[in-house]
Amino acid sequence: MSDRKASPTPTASALGWWASTFPQGQQSLTIEDAGGQPVTIAYGEVGQGPPLVLAHGLGVWSYSWRENVSALAQHYRVICVDAVGAGFSEKPMRPTHIGHQVVELARIIAALCDQPAILVGQSLGGLTSLGVAIDHPQLVERLVVINVPVFPKKLPSAMMQILAAVPQPLVYAIDRYQLFKRAQPLARWVGQRYQREGRNPQETTAQQTAHIDAYPYLETVGMLTCFARDLKIALADIQQYLRGEPCFTGRLQDSLGAIAQPTLVLWGEQDAWFPVENGYALQQQLPEAKLQVIPGCGHRASESCPRQVNDAVLAFLAPQSSGF
């Protein structure tokens, strides 16, 4: 089930990014979420050619691909998606289950693409892309995954750990009454701290983009609640995984060998959240995978090292290249 329509022309700074990046600005698509309920997805698209879908990480939105869209759109139809609960997509605060992003991304691809898509996913978006390739291989042509939390030991960020520990009713109250917005200096400090944790140690540009990164948290209701909910779900899954119990992470790891699509594994050499050794381990478990390490790069590689990411993706996808 899908219903595509154009969204109103945006005016605010964050929304203005959609208008300046995509010919039709922010668009919307209605799918069924993992619970079978209708949910509205925000997305933008630009370029012509084979479809290439960008899947962002947890706690951020499509803006994290701002340095990549233009370069990739010179060769591909780039579709930049806000996940359910993130950015300017709908933020249903009802309960959900681990791996719901896999179901929802698959439905987005099926609705927007008339042929198998190239998936480029960073962090949780990379994990979600692997899940789609396992559960819905007919939807995926090739994969690029960046700094993927496929071998987790804990929630990687101190800010994530704190938020996961806050009782959900309190998070909901902060969100509903927009207390974050009323305490903007604190909110911006939290956003900058979160950015710094995932960026290169030497990088100093986090403050320049934090206000737009944080825009959905300050100006919309629900993203903080959905973020905290997904963190709690992820933490429970990690704890099950470490105890050797059946869980989403374990099932995904056991299924990596079934991914037949050519895959590029990109990893930031200085990723402080997920060490580069995880990239080598992932590459070894994927039958058709190449690993490329980006020197001096942190976790949020699409923002910290966009030129290197763009060059690596385009070289991997070039028509004359086999992917390897």
| Sequence ranges of the domains in the chain | 3-151+247-317
The superfamily (CATH) of domain 3-151+247-317 is: Alpha/Beta hydrolase fold, catalytic domain (3.40.50.1820)
What pLDDT is attached to residue 196?
59
What pLDDT is attached to residue 300?
93
What pLDDT is attached to residue 158?
87
What pLDDT is attached to residue 16?
87
3-state DSSP of the chain: CCEEEECCCCCCHHHHHHHHHCCCCCEEEEEECCCCCEEEEEEEEECCCCEEEEECCCCCCHHHHCCCHHHHHCCCEEEEECCCCCCCCCCCCCCCCCCHHHHHHHHHHHHHCCCCEEEEEECHHHHHHHHHHHHCHHHEEEEEEECCCCCCCCCCCHHHHHHHHCCHHHHHHHHHCCHHHHCHHHHHHHHHHHHHHHCCCCCCCHHHHHHHHCHHHHHCCCHHHHHHHHHHHHHHHHHHHHCCCCCHHHHHHHHHHHCCCCEEEEEECCCCCCCHHHHHHHHHHCCCEEEEEECCCCCCHHHHCHHHHHHHHHHHHCCCCCCC
What pLDDT is attached to residue 184?
58
What pLDDT is attached to residue 201?
47
What pLDDT is attached to residue 314?
98
What pLDDT is attached to residue 1?
45
Average pLDDT, 10 consecutive residues per value, the chain (324 residues): 42 78 97 97 98 96 96 98 97 94 98 98 98 98 98 93 94 84 59 57 49 84 94 97 97 98 97 96 97 96 96 91 57
